[in-house]
Amino acid sequence: MIFFANHTLSLGDQRARSCFEAVGGEDMDIRNVMVPIDFSQPSRMALDYGVDLARVFQARLTLVHVMEPQPVLEGASAGEIARIELERREAALQQLGELVAPEDEDDLDLRIVLRSGNAKKEIATAVDDQNVDLVILGTHGRGRLGRLILGSTTEGLLRRLHVPVMTVSHVMAPGRFKRILLATDLSDSSHAAFTFALDMARKLGGDVLALHVMGGPMLAAAELGIPTETNESALEEVRRRLRTLAMEGKAQGVAVETSIADGAAATSIMQAATENQAELILLAIESKGLIERRLLGTTAERVVREAPIPVLAVPVSLNAQREKAEQAR
């Protein structure tokens, strides 16, 4: 069951000033930003980011809420069940309406989508139905061991959605995304994530730090066609590829710094983000198939779970070069 509020809404004064500042340059192809809402504090934080990004990209903002099925009351008639379901829908719509304020209705092109069923399945379906280009998810608090609890819904969506997914936690306040850390394995398939990072940096007036971790699972020299007889030959090839990224960024008007780390990939990524005052970590997620993809081993999973700043996971194809060649034939 789905309901569309086909009128424009916007958020209140507390969110009136965008923390993202658009600058000149070519527009990113983000026309619809979706934020799943479960009325928790993390989802409200995700909404803050969604509002700001929708304004910067002049995109539609779509809020989706999924009502989980409730047990049917024993002995309840069909009419009573229908009445209870209607009351639940009206209550959810009222709560969603309280997230927006009419005085800002000119700021946003906002759509509310209400669905019933399994959250992961319904959100994924809504992404397709609404032609969503970016999903922003709130992740829930810290567990007893200090690790961020990703949550089954968030993890499931990261694995199956075919659009970029940003995860944010309630422990963070919105930043300006002026400094984007791109963790790259320098493979051909990961170049799509680099292009995405350049587009975002150009739109937000920021810069990019392209980080490559030598010692962790983000690099297998053989996969890049690098001679593995010596560490120095592999290192020189990594430097060459990073220089190519910096030159590409310069040609597009974006400052791209490069860095090489050696050690555990997830730890190196988060340490570099802290040391360089990054406000966003961007990772590539490799496609496993049409429905599900795998994260970059434990690296991306740990970064998404533990990073103190938002993480943007961009899906890329493992067969990007092969697909491009086939299309050119």
253, two tokens: 């008007």
User: Is the alpha carbon torsion for 316, 321, 326, 329 positive or negative?
Assistant: positive
To the nearest 10 degrees (0 to 180), the angle between helices 191-204 and 41-57 is 80
Give residue 229's identity as a one-letter amino acid code. E
What is the chain's length? 329
Alpha-carbon span 242 to 183, nearest angstrom: 12
Alpha-carbon span 313 to 164, nearest angstrom: 6
Q: Give φ, ψ of 169 to 5 degrees.
A: -120, 155
Alpha-carbon span 191 to 170, nearest angstrom: 31
Looking at the chain, list the stretches that DSSP marks H as alpha helix, in order from N- to C-terminal side. Answer: 41-57, 78-97, 119-129, 152-160, 191-204, 231-251, 265-275, 297-306, 320-328
CB atoms within 10 A of CB 242: 20
pLDDT range class, residue 74, cuts 50, 70, 90: low
Domains for the chain: give ranges and CATH numbers.
2-169 (3.40.50.620), 179-328 (3.40.50.620)
pLDDT range class, residue 5, cuts 50, 70, 90: very low
pLDDT range class, residue 292, cuts 50, 70, 90: very low
pLDDT range class, residue 254, cuts 50, 70, 90: very high
Which tops the pLDDT comparison, 152 or 293? 152
Please state, for a pLDDT cut of 90, what percent of the chain lies above it: 30
Residue 212 Cα distances to 241, 265, 267, 269, 310, angstroms: 10, 9, 12, 9, 19
Contact present, 65 and 2 (Cβ < 8 Å): no
pLDDT digits (tens, 9 = 90+) for 185-241: 888 878 888 999 999 999 889 999 999 988 643 444 555 555 555 567 778 888 999
Give residue 74's identity as a one-letter amino acid code. E
- The residue assigned the tokens 């092969």 is 322
pLDDT at 284: 86
Looking only at Cα atoms, what is the longest distance across the chain? 75
Alpha-carbon span 130 to 125, nearest angstrom: 9
Q: Pick the most confident of 173-177, 247-251, 282-286, 305-309.
A: 247-251
Q: What's the pTM value of the predicted model, to 2 decimals?
A: 0.80
User: For residue 302, how far is the Cα from the chain centroid?
Assistant: 15
Q: Pick the most confident of 23-37, 233-247, 293-307.
A: 233-247
Determine the average pLDDT of the residues in 16-23: 49
pLDDT range class, residue 12, cuts 50, 70, 90: very low
The mean of the pLDDT values for the chain is 76
pLDDT digits (tens, 9 = 90+) for 90-130: 888 888 877 866 655 567 888 999 998 888 899 999 999 99
Is residue 66 scored above 50 in pLDDT? yes
Is residue 76 scored above 70 in pLDDT? no
Which tops the pLDDT comparison, 1 or 30? 30
Beta strands (DSSP E) in 129-194 are 134-142, 148-149, 165-169, 179-183
Lowest mean pLDDT among 35-44, 54-63, 230-239, 290-299: 290-299
Is residue 156 scored above 80 in pLDDT? no
Determine the average pLDDT of the residues in 151-171: 79
pLDDT at 169: 77
Half-sphere exposure of 204 (CA within 13 A, CB side): 24
Pairing mode of beta strands 311-316, 165-169: antiparallel
CB atoms within 10 A of CB 101: 17
Which tops the pLDDT comparison, 213 or 256? 256
- The residue assigned the tokens 């400094």 is 179
Alpha-carbon span 93 to 84, nearest angstrom: 14
- Choose among 32, 44, 15, 200: nearest CA to 109: 32
Which tops the pLDDT comparison, 11 or 259? 259
| 22-50 burial: b if 16+ Cβ within 10 Å, else e | eeebeebebbbbbbbbbeeebbebbbbbb
pLDDT at 159: 77
Is residue 319 scored above 90 in pLDDT? no
